[in-house]
């Protein structure tokens, strides 16, 4: 499902009005009535509702909701917040209708308005939040703060129009305070602020309603962001033919692990194997070889003589590069340690390995000191940073990255021509052509040591099988989250281990392939 900026929505609405002859008042009517029907069908334990309207078009939607609720037999009181003189356009038309049908209208901004409002919502804690929609553009102040804080204090049920008031629809940040909604009815397509944190956490449920905008208008607007859904991801899976053999499922080389960090190598290999690839080769310091072969017997290991204990010496790089030019993918980084050897291995792989690369963890830390190596890269490459690694790669602070991961991932992927998997509560996959995919499954239990190693393994495994690189990244992130959700269902989030995600992968893949067979 596509994801929008407020400018995208405005462009789509403009196209609909100017090119396709749709009347904006019709869209407002459809928007407001869709919210009213959502309330009616929820069969809430009330026959009374309070509608809180701002003075913009979100407020206009609220006026339409009020009229439809009255028609459904609800007792409705409308509270305006802001100066009613600012109400204009379609909102004004609907405001004037309310006055003509003797709707109970109060003005919170008037003397004692807030006291009246508080008294009302104590009696009737069922509220429609139509204060701000995609038009909010600054910190919330004075009377609006008082209104929103009272809504959150006394509410029994709040339904937000388009987006909870206080969320920035373009990046999900909060303008100081925000309505906490039980439901949000958004229109046409979800906004980034509906999906990204913290905005996404201000509504328990999100419903998207088409409100009469022609599909032609939506398709005419090139939208670069989209949500990863099961329907979207499962199409990337390769079906396994009955008469196949392991050669059909590709080969991957992995450089991972060093003394004290073998767990990362084990998790990455197990995850790659669980993804269904044919043959996996792990380059490992020879002193760690026994441990690895006991832990992951399905992996072919290449024990390499160590110049320094527990580290792969640079004397092996030519062999690794040569080997890797005859496999489907090379992954570097999990548990490699921050050494000059790994840095040289990353450099040579970027420059000389034409097969797709997956670089994670310590491989990223090496790259971040020499980002210009990417300019000499010929083959495809996937980078899988968490915000800390992304900060070192991009120069943005971790706070900036967490505030706007979509924009920063998009900018970096286009600039450096990489597939970027920016991990987080909403993992973002950005591609060199400027497309951005937001994954919305997964759970906080997955924020655990080794979870990133598992993701690297999954993505590597899918590339090995011949799935396009960007699709492998999307499918890998989706399945990683699906596996984590399946295992959290069984074991809870607190006790979730990265190894559980590896176990969950098999079930997640089974579920997804069953869906494909239907």
Ligand X SMILES: NC(=O)C1=CN([C@@H]2O[C@H](COP(=O)(O)OP(=O)(O)OC[C@H]3O[C@@H](n4cnc5c(N)ncnc54)[C@H](O)[C@@H]3O)[C@@H](O)[C@H]2O)[C@H](O)CC1
How many residues belong to the site for K ion (CB under 5 A)?
4
Report how far residue 92's alpha carbon sits from residue 83's, in angstroms, rounded to the nearest whole number: 12
**CB-CB contact of 375 with 347 (8 Å):** no
* Region near K ion per CB under 5 A, out of 70-78, 160-168, 424-432, 480-488: 160-168
How many residues belong to the site for ligand X (CB under 6 A)?
26
**CB-CB contact of 172 with 196 (8 Å):** yes
- DSSP label of 254: E
- Taking the complex as a whole, how short is the minimal distance between the CB of residue 28 and ligand X, in angstroms? 5
If one asks whether residue 509 binds ligand X (CB under 6 A), the answer comes out as: no
If one asks whether residue 18 binds ligand X (CB under 6 A), the answer comes out as: no
If one asks whether residue 8 binds ligand X (CB under 6 A), the answer comes out as: no
H helices of 86-141, in order, are 89-100, 113-123
- Residue for token pair 């509410």: 155
Is 425 a known ligand-binding residue? Answer: yes
Site string for ligand X, 72-111 (x = CB under 6 A): ------------------x---------------------
- Taking the complex as a whole, how short is the minimal distance between the CB of residue 132 and K ion, in angstroms? 6
Is 335 a known ligand-binding residue? Answer: yes
- DSSP label of 431: -
Sign of the CA dihedral with 489 first, then 495, 501, and 504 last: negative
H-helix or E-strand spanning residue 126: strand 126-130
If one asks whether residue 162 binds ligand X (CB under 6 A), the answer comes out as: yes
If one asks whether residue 63 binds ligand X (CB under 6 A), the answer comes out as: no
- DSSP label of 4: B
If one asks whether residue 27 binds ligand X (CB under 6 A), the answer comes out as: yes
Report how far residue 42's alpha carbon sits from residue 475's, in angstroms, rounded to the nearest whole number: 35
Per CB under 6 A, the list member of 78, 159, 161, 409 interacting with ligand X is 161
Comparison of 147 and 275: residue with beta carbon closer to ligand X: 147
Report how far residue 413's alpha carbon sits from residue 432's, in angstroms, rounded to the nearest whole number: 5
Is 60 a known ligand-binding residue? Answer: yes
If one asks whether residue 226 binds K ion (CB under 5 A), the answer comes out as: no
H helices of 227-288, in order, are 230-234, 262-274
Closest by CA to 383, choosing from 345, 410, 421, 355, is 421
- Taking the complex as a whole, how short is the minimal distance between the CB of residue 163 and K ion, in angstroms? 6
Comparison of 161 and 496: residue with beta carbon closer to ligand X: 161
Partner whose footprint covers residue 165, from ligand X, K ion, none (CB < 5 to 8 Å by kind): K ion
What's the number of CA atoms in the CB half-sphere (13 Å) around residue 318?
1
If one asks whether residue 165 binds K ion (CB under 5 A), the answer comes out as: yes
Query: CA separation (Å) from 514 to 234, 401, 475, 509?
Result: 10, 37, 15, 8
Comparison of 29 and 323: residue with beta carbon closer to ligand X: 29
Per CB under 6 A, the list member of 1, 2, 11, 24 interacting with ligand X is 24
Is 308 a known ligand-binding residue? Answer: no
Which tokens is 103 given? 């709707």
Site string for K ion, 114-153 (x = CB under 5 A): ---------------x------------------------
Measured over all CA atoms, what is the biggest interatomic distance in the chain, rounded to whole angstroms? 87
- Residue for token pair 């997955």: 446
Per CB under 6 A, the list member of 63, 117, 126, 144 interacting with ligand X is 144
Report how far residue 471's alpha carbon sits from residue 143's, in angstroms, rounded to the nearest whole number: 48
**CB-CB contact of 249 with 276 (8 Å):** yes
Comparison of 129 and 485: residue with beta carbon closer to ligand X: 129
If one asks whether residue 33 binds K ion (CB under 5 A), the answer comes out as: no
H helices of 357-468, in order, are 361-368, 387-394, 398-403, 405-416, 451-464
Report how far residue 482's alpha carbon sits from residue 95's, in angstroms, rounded to the nearest whole number: 46
Is 138 a known ligand-binding residue? Answer: yes
> Can you say which residues are annotated as belonging to the binding site for K(+)?
58, 129, 165
Contact positions vs K ion (CB under 5 A)? 129, 160-161, 165
* Binding site per annotation, positions for AMP: 423-427, 452
List residues near ligand X by CB under 6 A: 13, 24, 27-28, 31, 54, 56-59, 61, 90, 132-140, 144, 161-162, 175, 187
| Binding-site sequence positions for (6S)-NADPHX | 57-61, 133-139, 144, 162, 264, 335, 386, 453
């Amino acid at each position: 499902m596509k994801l929008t900026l407020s400018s995208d929505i405005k462009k789509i609405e403009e196209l609909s009005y100017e090119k396709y002859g749709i009347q904006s008042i019709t869209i407002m009517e459809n928007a407001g009535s869709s919210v009213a029907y959502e309330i009616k069908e929820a069969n809430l334990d009330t026959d009374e509702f309070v509608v809180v309207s701002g003075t913009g078009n979100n407020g206009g939607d609220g006026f339409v909701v009020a009229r439809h609720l009255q028609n459904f037999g609800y007792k409705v009181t409308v509270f305006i917040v802001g100066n009613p003189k600012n109400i204009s356009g379609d909102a004004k038309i609907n405001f004037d209708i309310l006055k003509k049908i003797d709707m109970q209208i109060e003005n919170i901004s008037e003397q004692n308005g807030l006291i009246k409002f508080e008294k009302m919502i104590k009696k009737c804690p069922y509220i429609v939040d139509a204060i701000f929609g995609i038009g909010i553009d600054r910190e919330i102040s004075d009377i609006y703060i008082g209104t929103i804080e009272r809504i959150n204090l006394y509410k029994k049920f709040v339904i937000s129009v388009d987006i909870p008031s206080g969320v920035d629809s373009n990046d999900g940040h909060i303008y100081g305070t925000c309505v906490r909604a039980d439901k949000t009815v958004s229109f046409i397509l979800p906004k980034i602020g509906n999906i990204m944190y913290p905005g996404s956490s201000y509504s328990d449920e999100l419903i998207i309603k088409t409100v009469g905008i022609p599909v032609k208008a939506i398709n005419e607007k090139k939208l670069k962001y989209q949500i990863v859904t099961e329907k979207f991801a499962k199409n990337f899976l390769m079906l396994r033919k009955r008469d196949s053999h392991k050669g059909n499922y590709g080969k991957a080389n992995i450089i991972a692990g060093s003394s004290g960090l073998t767990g990362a190598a084990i998790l990455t290999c197990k995850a790659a194997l669980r993804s269904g690839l044919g043959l996996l080769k792990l380059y490992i310091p020879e002193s760690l070889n026994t441990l690895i072969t006991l832990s992951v017997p399905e992996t072919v290991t290449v024990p390499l003589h160590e110049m320094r204990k527990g580290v792969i010496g640079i004397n092996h790089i030519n062999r690794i590069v040569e080997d890797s030019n005859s496999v489907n993918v090379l992954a570097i980084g999990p548990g490699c340690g921050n050494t000059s050897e790994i840095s040289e291995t990353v450099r040579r792989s970027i420059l000389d390995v034409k097969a797709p690369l997956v670089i994670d963890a310590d491989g990223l830390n090496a790259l971040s000191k020499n980002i210009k190596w990417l300019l000499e890269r010929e083959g495809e490459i996937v980078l899988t940073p968490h915000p800390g690694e992304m900060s070192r790669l991009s120069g943005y602070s971790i706070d900036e990255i967490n505030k706007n991961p979509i924009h920063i991932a998009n900018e970096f992927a286009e600039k450096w021509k990489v597939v970027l998997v920016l991990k987080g509560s909403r993992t973002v996959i950005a591609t060199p052509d400027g497309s951005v995919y937001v994954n919305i499954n997964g759970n906080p239990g997955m924020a655990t040591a080794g979870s990133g190693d598992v993701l690297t393994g999954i993505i590597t495994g899918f590339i090995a099988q011949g799935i396009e690189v960007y699709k492998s990244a999307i499918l890998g992130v989706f399945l990683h989250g699906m596996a984590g959700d399946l295992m959290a269902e069984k074991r809870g989030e607190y006790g979730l281990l990265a190894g559980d995600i590896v176990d969950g992968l098999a079930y997640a893949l089974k579920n997804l392939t069953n869906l494909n067979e239907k």
